[in-house]
Amino acid sequence: MDKVQEWNELAAQFAVDSIRASTEAGSGHPTSSMSAAHLVAVLYADHLRYDVSDPKNPANDRFVLSKGHASPLMYSILKAIGAITDEQLLSFRRFGSPLEGHPVPVPEMPWIDVATGSLGQGLPIGLGMALAMKMDESPARVWVLTGDSEAAEGSVWEAMANAWFHGAGNLIALLDMNRLGQRGPTMVEWQGEVYAERARAFGWHAIQVDGHDVSAIDAAYREAEEAEAGRPVMIVARTEKGHGVSFLANKEGWHGKALSREEAEKAIAELGGPRNIAITPPKPELRIPQAPKPWTYQVPTYDDAIATRKAFGETLAAMAVNPGLVVLDGEVGNSTHTEDFQKVAPDRFLEMYIAEQCMVGAAVGLQVLGKTPFAATFGAFMTRAFDFIRMAAVSRANLRLSGSHAGVSIGEDGPSQMALEDLAMMRAVHGSTVLYPADGNSAARLTAAMADLPGISYIRTTREATAKLYDEGERFPIGGSKVLRSSDGDRATIVGAGVTVYEALKAAEELAGEGTAVRVIDAYSVKPIDAATLAGALRETGLVVVVEDHWVDGGLGDAVLQALAGEGELSGRVLKLAVTEMPGSGKPEELRDWAGISGPKIAGAIRRGLA
**How far apart, in Å, are the Cα atoms of 119 and each of 43, 181, 483?**
22, 12, 45
Nearer to a second copy (CB atom), residue 311 or residue 391: 391
Q: Is the peptide bond before 103 cis (omega within 30 degrees of 0)?
A: no
Among 456, 387, 328, smallest CA distance to 121 is for: 387
Cβ atoms < 10 Å from Cβ of 536:
16
Nearer to a second copy (CB atom), residue 505 or residue 544: 544
Residues 557-576 that bind a second copy (CB under 8 A): 557-559, 561-562, 565-566, 568-576
Q: Compute φ and ψ for 456, nearest 5 degrees.
A: -95, 120
CB of 467 to a second copy, least distance (A): 23
* Sole binder of a second copy in the list 111, 254, 381, 502 (CB under 8 A): 381
Q: Which stretch binds a second copy (CB under 8 A): 12-20, 117-125, 239-247, 299-307?
A: 117-125
Among 71, 86, 84, smallest CA distance to 32 is for: 71
Q: Compute φ and ψ for 64, nearest 5 degrees.
A: -115, 120
Q: Compute φ and ψ for 435, nearest 5 degrees.
A: -120, 145
**How far apart, in Å, are the Cα atoms of 550 and each of 434, 578, 600, 605?**
14, 6, 18, 18
Residues 73-112 that bind a second copy (CB under 8 A): 93-98, 100-102, 104, 106
CB of 291 to a second copy, least distance (A): 32
Among 522, 508, 537, smallest CA distance to 603 is for: 508
User: Is residue 517 a contact point for a second copy (CB under 8 A)?
Assistant: no
Nearer to a second copy (CB atom), residue 203 or residue 323: 203
* Sole binder of a second copy in the list 141, 384, 405, 460 (CB under 8 A): 384
Q: Which of 153, 339, 356, 421 is catalytic?
A: 356
Instruction: Identify whether 356 is a catalytic site residue.
Output: yes
* Sole binder of a second copy in the list 115, 127, 214, 318 (CB under 8 A): 115
Q: Which stretch binds a second copy (CB under 8 A): 5-13, 20-28, 313-321, 479-487?
A: 20-28
Residues 230-289 that bind a second copy (CB under 8 A): none
Are residues 242 and 34 in contact, defined by beta-carbon separation less than 8 angstroms?
A: yes
Nearer to a second copy (CB atom), residue 432 or residue 466: 432
x/- string (CB under 8 A) for a second copy, residues 291-330?
----------------------------------------
Among 349, 345, 312, smallest CA distance to 327 is for: 349
Radius of gyration of the chain (CA): 27
User: Is residue 520 a contact point for a second copy (CB under 8 A)?
Assistant: no
Nearer to a second copy (CB atom), residue 43 or residue 459: 459
How far apart CA 611 and CA 607 sit, in angstroms, is 6
Nearer to a second copy (CB atom), residue 464 or residue 590: 590
* Sole binder of a second copy in the list 76, 322, 357, 433 (CB under 8 A): 357
Q: Which stretch binds a second copy (CB under 8 A): 22-30, 133-141, 436-444, 496-504?
A: 22-30
Residues 165-204 that bind a second copy (CB under 8 A): 165, 181-183, 186-187, 194, 197-198, 200-203
Nearer to a second copy (CB atom), residue 444 or residue 529: 529
**How far apart, in Å, are the Cα atoms of 110 and each of 103, 115, 287, 590, 594?**
11, 12, 17, 54, 53
Q: How many residues of this chain bind a second copy (CB under 8 A)?
A: 115
DSSP state of 33: H
Q: Which stretch binds a second copy (CB under 8 A): 19-27, 80-88, 168-176, 217-225?
A: 19-27
CB of 190 to a second copy, least distance (A): 15
Cβ atoms < 10 Å from Cβ of 89:
21
**How far apart, in Å, are the Cα atoms of 265 and each of 22, 24, 133, 162?**
13, 12, 44, 46
User: Is residue 375 a contact point for a second copy (CB under 8 A)?
Assistant: no
User: Is residue 157 a contact point for a second copy (CB under 8 A)?
Assistant: yes
Nearer to a second copy (CB atom), residue 43 or residue 556: 556
Among 330, 362, 290, 372, smallest CA distance to 54 is for: 290
User: Is residue 505 a contact point for a second copy (CB under 8 A)?
Assistant: no
Give the active site residues.
356
